[in-house]
Structure 1
Amino acid sequence: MPKPALGPQRTSLIIWFAAIFCAVVAVAVVAIGIFVIVSYLVIHPTTPTISVSYANLDRFAYNQIGILDVQVSIVIKAKNENVKNHAVFYGLVLTLNFHGLPVAKLVNNPFDVKKNSSREFVYVVQSNQIPLRSVYSDYVQSALTKHKVSFELKGKVKTRWRVWVVGLVKFSVNMDCDLQFFVPNGSFTYRSPCSSKSS
């Protein structure tokens, strides 16, 4: 018995509507992505930074029994170069080290910096009397002989601010630099800028 002839098959309307819908969604996603990227490039948001704007070695005393007594004044500047939004700094923890030996910590509560502005915080870092092992005693003797004392300032602070279209932006800002002081007057030698890097 001969089989009945079949006419041309037609694609279901549901499949057509689904394909059109997916195409529209894909175009919309691409358009939104391009818009966000272009907006970000036009606004060009700048990561807030921290830096040392001033420092002074107030006291660097070392006695014959190997006890080190240190006091350092440090001014930390928080800077926000974004012209449209304020920035929030939080979780600030910096450690002052002498050749890897922790001397003191610098901390701060969360604070705001207005748009295109900066704030400075003064720290008077005073260590407890530190008993030194022989290797650190050698570092002290060498520093006094060369009239130059070096400390390392390491740590980080978190920042957040809003960028139009993109929304809330967060960065962790890290600091790792050397502070050099001239002995005996304790003045800070600006050999290189001490500022943060974002990550």
Structure 2
Amino acid sequence: MAHTPLTTPPLTPQFCLNQRALRDFLRLSRATIDDNIIQNLNALIVPSRTPFNPSSTSARSTTTSPPLKSPIDPPACENFKSSILFPSWESRSDVLNYCAAVALNPADPDLALAKAESAKERERVVDERLDPYSGRFFPREARTEVLGGLVRNERSVERIVRGRTWGLVQERCGEGSGEGWEEALDKWREEQERR
């Protein structure tokens, strides 16, 4: 049985600024659906209805062709995509979009502190003969700047993960339409809006 997507956590600035919580949600969501996509798709295959015949193993096959993968029933594929895969992707997109907006927040108190520290450090007079390391100033990045970098990295990871997952879904579901995951996800979103 395929796993169900994780529910989207309550979206608050504190959630986004807690890098561990944000990364854990994204990691667990990917692990549940995308990292186990082959197992999830295999769970959609209906087992054989004919009873096992032991005589089928008495002769060895000499054909060298690779074994065919069992095709997945198209309605089962559609159901998996619309009820598990796309909602999981949408949930992660919602979190990343919200956190990207938090990262653009100019009212971050850390940002004001970093600017004040930077101005103070530029005015400081240093005698590097007495302390050669005192001339070095490493400004702290504001939490929102760190969050912005994290969101950019996670969006890159999402593109890679979704591309890989979508390729496997198309291969196993027999959909060679050439439609990319972006187009398929956009169509699903449009269907959700109509409901």
TM-score range, shorter chain: under 0.3
When Rg is computed on C-alpha atoms for both structures, the one with the higher figure is 1
Higher helix share: 2
Tell me the TM-score normalised to structure 2 length: 0.23
Point out the structure with the larger strand share.
Answer: 1
The TM-score, its normalising length taken from structure 1, stands at 0.23
